[in-house]
Amino acid sequence: MIHRLRERKRGVSRLARPGIIWDFDDTLVNTAIFFETAREKYARFMVRLGFPLDGVLETLNLLDIENVRRCGGFLKECFPRAMVQTYVHFCGVNGVAPDPDICGKVEEMGWWVFEQRPRPVPGAAEVLAELREAGRYEMFLATKGDPSVQWRRIEESGLRNFFKKVYVLKDKTSVEYIQIARRHGLDPRRSWVVGNSIKSDINPGLAAGFSCIFIPNPHTWDFEMEDPVGDFVTMESLRGVPGLVLGKTGSGPDEIHEAAR
Ligand SMILES: [Mg+2]
Protein backbone atom coordinates (compact mmCIF):
# COMPACT_ATOMS: atom_id res chain seq x y z
CA MET A 1 0.00 0.00 0.00
CA ILE A 2 2.81 2.40 0.96
CA HIS A 3 4.54 1.57 -2.29
CA ARG A 4 1.38 2.34 -4.25
CA LEU A 5 0.83 5.60 -2.36
CA ARG A 6 4.37 6.68 -3.11
CA GLU A 7 3.85 5.99 -6.77
CA ARG A 8 0.57 7.88 -6.74
CA LYS A 9 2.37 10.81 -5.18
CA ARG A 10 4.69 10.90 -8.14
CA GLY A 11 1.64 10.79 -10.37
CA VAL A 12 2.40 7.28 -11.60
CA SER A 13 0.26 4.38 -10.53
CA ARG A 14 1.29 0.77 -11.09
CA LEU A 15 -2.33 0.27 -12.01
CA ALA A 16 -2.15 2.80 -14.85
CA ARG A 17 -3.16 1.09 -18.08
CA PRO A 18 -2.04 1.47 -21.68
CA GLY A 19 -4.54 3.00 -24.05
CA ILE A 20 -5.00 4.38 -27.53
CA ILE A 21 -6.78 7.66 -28.17
CA TRP A 22 -7.98 7.78 -31.76
CA ASP A 23 -8.87 10.83 -33.78
CA PHE A 24 -12.02 10.46 -35.91
CA ASP A 25 -12.20 12.78 -38.95
CA ASP A 26 -9.77 11.87 -41.69
CA THR A 27 -8.11 9.28 -39.48
CA LEU A 28 -10.93 6.71 -39.21
CA VAL A 29 -13.48 8.27 -41.57
CA ASN A 30 -13.05 10.53 -44.58
CA THR A 31 -14.78 13.87 -44.14
CA ALA A 32 -12.38 16.57 -45.41
CA ILE A 33 -13.09 15.33 -48.93
CA PHE A 34 -16.68 16.65 -48.56
CA PHE A 35 -15.34 20.14 -47.79
CA GLU A 36 -13.01 19.92 -50.76
CA THR A 37 -15.84 18.84 -53.07
CA ALA A 38 -18.02 21.72 -51.80
CA ARG A 39 -15.19 24.23 -52.27
CA GLU A 40 -14.61 23.11 -55.85
CA LYS A 41 -18.31 23.31 -56.66
CA TYR A 42 -18.45 26.75 -55.05
CA ALA A 43 -15.45 28.02 -57.03
CA ARG A 44 -17.04 26.86 -60.31
CA PHE A 45 -20.30 28.55 -59.35
CA MET A 46 -18.53 31.83 -58.52
CA VAL A 47 -16.74 31.77 -61.88
CA ARG A 48 -20.11 31.25 -63.62
CA LEU A 49 -21.35 34.35 -61.77
CA GLY A 50 -18.49 36.26 -63.37
CA PHE A 51 -16.12 36.50 -60.44
CA PRO A 52 -12.43 35.76 -60.98
CA LEU A 53 -11.30 32.33 -59.79
CA ASP A 54 -8.20 33.87 -58.21
CA GLY A 55 -8.85 34.63 -54.61
CA VAL A 56 -12.25 32.98 -54.21
CA LEU A 57 -10.98 29.84 -52.49
CA GLU A 58 -8.33 31.74 -50.53
CA THR A 59 -10.93 34.20 -49.28
CA LEU A 60 -13.32 31.39 -48.42
CA ASN A 61 -10.59 29.64 -46.43
CA LEU A 62 -9.60 32.79 -44.54
CA LEU A 63 -13.19 33.64 -43.65
CA ASP A 64 -13.86 30.04 -42.60
CA ILE A 65 -10.83 30.06 -40.27
CA GLU A 66 -11.89 33.47 -38.91
CA ASN A 67 -15.39 32.08 -38.20
CA VAL A 68 -13.98 29.04 -36.40
CA ARG A 69 -11.75 31.26 -34.27
CA ARG A 70 -14.62 33.62 -33.49
CA CYS A 71 -16.94 30.72 -32.55
CA GLY A 72 -14.21 29.14 -30.43
CA GLY A 73 -14.60 25.81 -32.19
CA PHE A 74 -15.71 23.90 -35.26
CA LEU A 75 -19.38 24.87 -35.26
CA LYS A 76 -21.16 23.65 -38.38
CA GLU A 77 -22.47 27.08 -39.37
CA CYS A 78 -18.91 28.43 -39.83
CA PHE A 79 -18.44 26.92 -43.28
CA PRO A 80 -21.82 27.80 -44.91
CA ARG A 81 -21.53 31.28 -43.40
CA ALA A 82 -18.05 31.72 -44.93
CA MET A 83 -19.50 30.79 -48.34
CA VAL A 84 -22.06 33.59 -48.07
CA GLN A 85 -19.48 36.04 -46.71
CA THR A 86 -17.12 35.28 -49.60
CA TYR A 87 -19.89 35.88 -52.14
CA VAL A 88 -20.84 39.16 -50.40
CA HIS A 89 -17.17 40.17 -50.29
CA PHE A 90 -16.70 39.69 -54.03
CA CYS A 91 -19.97 41.48 -54.76
CA GLY A 92 -18.56 44.43 -52.80
CA VAL A 93 -15.23 44.29 -54.64
CA ASN A 94 -17.06 44.30 -57.99
CA GLY A 95 -19.60 46.94 -56.99
CA VAL A 96 -22.70 44.77 -57.33
CA ALA A 97 -25.47 44.19 -54.80
CA PRO A 98 -25.62 40.67 -53.30
CA ASP A 99 -28.59 38.64 -54.55
CA PRO A 100 -30.48 37.03 -51.61
CA ASP A 101 -31.34 33.98 -53.73
CA ILE A 102 -27.67 33.42 -54.51
CA CYS A 103 -26.80 33.89 -50.82
CA GLY A 104 -29.25 31.07 -50.06
CA LYS A 105 -27.84 28.89 -52.81
CA VAL A 106 -24.20 29.21 -51.73
CA GLU A 107 -25.17 28.65 -48.10
CA GLU A 108 -26.84 25.40 -49.18
CA MET A 109 -23.56 24.33 -50.81
CA GLY A 110 -21.96 24.66 -47.38
CA TRP A 111 -24.68 22.76 -45.51
CA TRP A 112 -24.38 19.90 -48.01
CA VAL A 113 -21.10 18.91 -46.33
CA PHE A 114 -22.85 18.10 -43.06
CA GLU A 115 -25.58 16.05 -44.72
CA GLN A 116 -23.11 13.52 -46.10
CA ARG A 117 -22.61 10.12 -44.54
CA PRO A 118 -18.96 9.57 -43.56
CA ARG A 119 -17.09 6.76 -45.23
CA PRO A 120 -14.72 4.78 -43.01
CA VAL A 121 -11.11 4.84 -44.14
CA PRO A 122 -10.32 1.45 -45.77
CA GLY A 123 -9.24 -0.98 -43.07
CA ALA A 124 -10.53 1.10 -40.13
CA ALA A 125 -12.97 -1.49 -38.77
CA GLU A 126 -10.47 -4.35 -39.27
CA VAL A 127 -7.70 -2.48 -37.46
CA LEU A 128 -9.96 -1.55 -34.53
CA ALA A 129 -11.25 -5.13 -34.36
CA GLU A 130 -7.70 -6.52 -34.31
CA LEU A 131 -6.72 -4.20 -31.47
CA ARG A 132 -9.86 -4.99 -29.50
CA GLU A 133 -9.19 -8.70 -30.01
CA ALA A 134 -5.62 -8.31 -28.77
CA GLY A 135 -7.05 -6.69 -25.61
CA ARG A 136 -3.86 -4.92 -24.68
CA TYR A 137 -5.13 -1.37 -25.04
CA GLU A 138 -8.27 0.37 -23.91
CA MET A 139 -9.47 2.43 -26.85
CA PHE A 140 -10.95 5.90 -26.84
CA LEU A 141 -12.19 8.26 -29.50
CA ALA A 142 -11.50 11.98 -29.17
CA THR A 143 -12.93 14.23 -31.84
CA LYS A 144 -13.58 17.92 -32.04
CA GLY A 145 -16.37 19.54 -33.95
CA ASP A 146 -20.00 20.42 -33.80
CA PRO A 147 -21.51 17.94 -31.29
CA SER A 148 -24.70 17.25 -33.26
CA VAL A 149 -22.73 16.55 -36.44
CA GLN A 150 -20.02 14.49 -34.75
CA TRP A 151 -22.33 12.25 -32.72
CA ARG A 152 -24.39 11.48 -35.82
CA ARG A 153 -21.28 10.76 -37.88
CA ILE A 154 -19.86 8.49 -35.18
CA GLU A 155 -23.08 6.48 -35.04
CA GLU A 156 -23.30 6.28 -38.84
CA SER A 157 -19.67 5.20 -39.15
CA GLY A 158 -20.44 1.90 -37.41
CA LEU A 159 -17.24 2.29 -35.35
CA ARG A 160 -18.80 3.52 -32.08
CA ASN A 161 -18.69 0.19 -30.26
CA PHE A 162 -14.94 -0.22 -30.58
CA PHE A 163 -14.37 2.48 -27.99
CA LYS A 164 -14.66 2.39 -24.24
CA LYS A 165 -15.61 6.05 -24.30
CA VAL A 166 -16.15 8.67 -27.00
CA TYR A 167 -15.29 12.31 -26.42
CA VAL A 168 -16.67 15.08 -28.64
CA LEU A 169 -14.61 18.07 -27.58
CA LYS A 170 -14.61 21.75 -28.31
CA ASP A 171 -10.85 21.67 -28.70
CA LYS A 172 -8.07 19.11 -28.47
CA THR A 173 -5.13 20.46 -26.50
CA SER A 174 -2.80 18.67 -24.07
CA VAL A 175 -5.34 19.49 -21.31
CA GLU A 176 -8.02 17.28 -22.88
CA TYR A 177 -5.59 14.40 -23.43
CA ILE A 178 -4.34 14.62 -19.82
CA GLN A 179 -7.95 14.67 -18.57
CA ILE A 180 -8.82 11.54 -20.55
CA ALA A 181 -5.69 9.79 -19.22
CA ARG A 182 -6.50 10.71 -15.63
CA ARG A 183 -10.18 9.83 -15.90
CA HIS A 184 -9.46 6.34 -17.21
CA GLY A 185 -6.23 5.61 -15.38
CA LEU A 186 -4.09 5.58 -18.52
CA ASP A 187 -0.33 5.76 -18.38
CA PRO A 188 0.56 8.14 -21.23
CA ARG A 189 4.09 6.70 -21.42
CA ARG A 190 2.61 3.35 -22.50
CA SER A 191 -0.22 4.86 -24.53
CA TRP A 192 -0.69 6.22 -28.01
CA VAL A 193 -2.48 9.02 -29.81
CA VAL A 194 -3.28 8.33 -33.47
CA GLY A 195 -4.39 11.07 -35.84
CA ASN A 196 -3.98 13.08 -39.03
CA SER A 197 -3.48 16.51 -37.46
CA ILE A 198 -0.20 17.79 -36.06
CA LYS A 199 -2.06 20.62 -34.34
CA SER A 200 -4.93 18.67 -32.74
CA ASP A 201 -3.54 15.14 -32.35
CA ILE A 202 0.24 14.91 -32.46
CA ASN A 203 1.45 18.04 -30.67
CA PRO A 204 -1.05 17.98 -27.80
CA GLY A 205 -0.57 14.20 -27.50
CA LEU A 206 3.20 14.65 -27.23
CA ALA A 207 2.79 17.48 -24.72
CA ALA A 208 0.59 15.19 -22.60
CA GLY A 209 3.31 12.51 -22.62
CA PHE A 210 1.82 10.07 -25.16
CA SER A 211 3.61 8.40 -28.05
CA CYS A 212 2.03 9.54 -31.29
CA ILE A 213 1.32 8.08 -34.69
CA PHE A 214 0.72 10.56 -37.50
CA ILE A 215 -1.24 9.27 -40.49
CA PRO A 216 -1.23 12.10 -43.04
CA ASN A 217 -4.37 12.65 -45.06
CA PRO A 218 -4.00 14.56 -48.33
CA HIS A 219 -7.25 16.45 -47.70
CA THR A 220 -6.34 17.75 -44.23
CA TRP A 221 -7.35 21.38 -43.81
CA ASP A 222 -4.37 23.74 -43.55
CA PHE A 223 -5.89 25.07 -40.31
CA GLU A 224 -4.62 21.81 -38.81
CA MET A 225 -1.01 22.38 -39.89
CA GLU A 226 1.61 23.27 -37.32
CA ASP A 227 5.27 22.61 -36.66
CA PRO A 228 5.74 19.45 -34.61
CA VAL A 229 6.98 19.86 -31.03
CA GLY A 230 8.57 16.44 -30.61
CA ASP A 231 9.27 13.01 -32.05
CA PHE A 232 6.51 10.88 -33.52
CA VAL A 233 5.94 8.04 -35.93
CA THR A 234 4.50 8.62 -39.39
CA MET A 235 2.54 5.86 -41.12
CA GLU A 236 1.10 5.84 -44.60
CA SER A 237 -1.93 3.81 -43.53
CA LEU A 238 -3.68 2.91 -40.30
CA ARG A 239 -3.23 -0.72 -41.28
CA GLY A 240 0.30 -0.43 -39.82
CA VAL A 241 -0.90 0.62 -36.37
CA PRO A 242 -1.56 -2.83 -34.81
CA GLY A 243 1.84 -4.10 -35.90
CA LEU A 244 3.58 -1.17 -34.27
CA VAL A 245 1.66 -0.91 -31.01
CA LEU A 246 1.47 -4.68 -30.49
CA GLY A 247 5.17 -4.98 -31.29
CA LYS A 248 4.83 -7.65 -33.94
CA THR A 249 7.99 -8.60 -35.77
CA GLY A 250 8.37 -7.46 -39.30
CA SER A 251 6.27 -4.34 -38.92
CA GLY A 252 7.55 -0.92 -38.23
CA PRO A 253 6.90 2.71 -38.86
CA ASP A 254 7.16 4.15 -42.34
CA GLU A 255 9.06 7.08 -40.93
CA ILE A 256 10.15 8.36 -37.54
CA HIS A 257 10.02 12.10 -37.26
CA GLU A 258 12.63 13.58 -34.99
CA ALA A 259 11.96 17.12 -33.96
CA ALA A 260 14.66 19.71 -34.60
CA ARG A 261 16.65 20.21 -31.42
MG1 LIG B 1 -8.65 14.48 -37.89
Ligand 1 centroid from CA 9, angstroms: 35
Ligand 1 centroid from CA 213, angstroms: 12
Confidence band, pLDDT 50/70/90 cuts, at residue 6 = very low
Ligand 1 centroid from CA 197, angstroms: 6
Structural domain including 97 reads 32-115
Ligand 1 centroid from CA 71, angstroms: 19
Domain boundary among 95, 115, 135: 115
Is the per-residue pLDDT at 221 higher than 50?
yes
Neighbours of ion ligand 1 (CB under 5 A): 23, 25-26, 196-197
Same domain, 42 and 150: no
Same domain, 127 and 96: no
Distance CA 213, CA 228 (A): 12
Is the per-residue pLDDT at 154 higher than 90?
yes
Ligand 1 centroid from CA 35, angstroms: 13
Ligand 1 centroid from CA 15, angstroms: 30
Same domain, 146 and 235: yes
Ligand 1 centroid from CA 198, angstroms: 9
Same domain, 124 and 59: no
Domain boundary among 115, 142, 162: 115
**Upper half-sphere CA count for residue 202 (Cβ side, 13 Å):** 26
Ligand 1 centroid from CA 63, angstroms: 21
Same domain, 92 and 178: no
Encode pLDDT of 74-110 as tens digits.
788 899 999 999 999 999 999 999 999 999 999 999 9
Confidence band, pLDDT 50/70/90 cuts, at residue 195 = very high
CATH code, domain with 147: 3.40.50.1000
Same domain, 11 and 81: no
CATH code, domain with 58: 1.10.150
- Which pTM does this prediction carry? 0.83
Ligand 1 centroid from CA 87, angstroms: 28
Is the per-residue pLDDT at 145 higher than 70?
yes
Ligand 1 centroid from CA 24, angstroms: 6
Backbone angles phi, psi at 21, to 5 degrees: -105, 115
147, 168 Cβ separation under 8 angstroms: yes
What pLDDT does residue 9 have?
A: 43
Ligand 1 centroid from CA 212, angstroms: 13
Ligand 1 centroid from CA 104, angstroms: 29
Check residue 76 and report its DSSP letter.
T
Domain boundary among 69, 94, 115: 115
Same domain, 161 and 146: yes
According to DSSP, the residues that pair with 49 across neighbouring strands are none
Is the per-residue pLDDT at 5 higher than 60?
no
| ∠ Cα 107 109 110 (to 5°) | 65
Ligand 1 centroid from CA 8, angstroms: 33
Ligand 1 centroid from CA 132, angstroms: 21
Same domain, 125 and 215: yes
Ligand 1 centroid from CA 200, angstroms: 8
Domain count of the fold of the chain: 2
Distances (CA, A) of 215 to 2, 35, 152, 232, 242: 42, 19, 24, 11, 13
Ligand 1 centroid from CA 216, angstroms: 9
